[in-house]
Amino acid sequence: MAGRVTGKVALITGAASGLGAETARVLAREGAAVLLSDRDPAGEAVALAIAAAGGRAAFLVHDVTSVADWEAAVARAVADFGKLDVLVNNAGIGSSSFDLMTGSLDDWRTMLAVNLDGVFLGMRHAGPAIAAAGGGAVINLSSILGKVGLPGAAHYCASKGGVLMLTKAAALEWAPLGIRVNSVHPGFIDTPMVSNAIHASENSNEMREMLIMAHPVARFGVPREIADAVLFLASDESSFMTGAELVVDGGYTAR
């Protein structure tokens, strides 16, 4: 039986672990050829495991803030798999608390460089390849913190809010090209990035419980729940969706 994205080629950034790695596994199981990219070379092992399970996968080291790296990533996808249909802009960073009165411009710029500039560069360089393939889908990973604020996270909120509005503008601009552009807004997901942020806090156990209880379902999400949302947006099942915000947050933003 054909999978939900059989015949498609997807480039997934930040795919060495967490949401990116699970998204690559899910898309590959559903028939896509996947190019994983990450600054962390551990992504090679993820790609090899996908291939060992019968999927089509490759990996390259990729800094999403680098124009040259983006050019190489798109060229590699086309060289290895013949085209590019789907871009998943997943790579992103978090950080410890950022105080607006004392936070440094360097910390601000680093956050926006990865979380927002990296998404723009991905669209700028992958967009022409997707258009050349006859159209496809771009899925940008934003956050609930691109929709609601959080004290001590102004730089992160700004970066993810920027992703939301960049997505909407791109959806309008690229609709005539047959390229759908949507954003996914996860709640707190049980990933290394979330765990590291909690451990870095002064009262990690209290922080974890507070964040869990901020979700009406009373738990963190798991990577598969976000990967399944990306799969839907990458597939033809979402063919009438563009410029949309797919919120997967256990009810966090419903309060």
Rounded distance between C-alpha atoms, residue 105 and residue 229, angstroms: 34
210 CB contacts (<8 Å, ≥6 apart)? none
For residue 47, CA distances in Å to 2, 41, 53, 58 come to: 21, 11, 10, 6
Six-digit token string for 108: 């601000």
For residue 17, CA distances in Å to 77, 86, 107 come to: 20, 19, 23
Tell me which H or E stretch contains 46.
Answer: helix 43-52
Residues acting as catalytic residues: 156
Main-chain phi, psi angles of 180, to 5 degrees: -90, 135
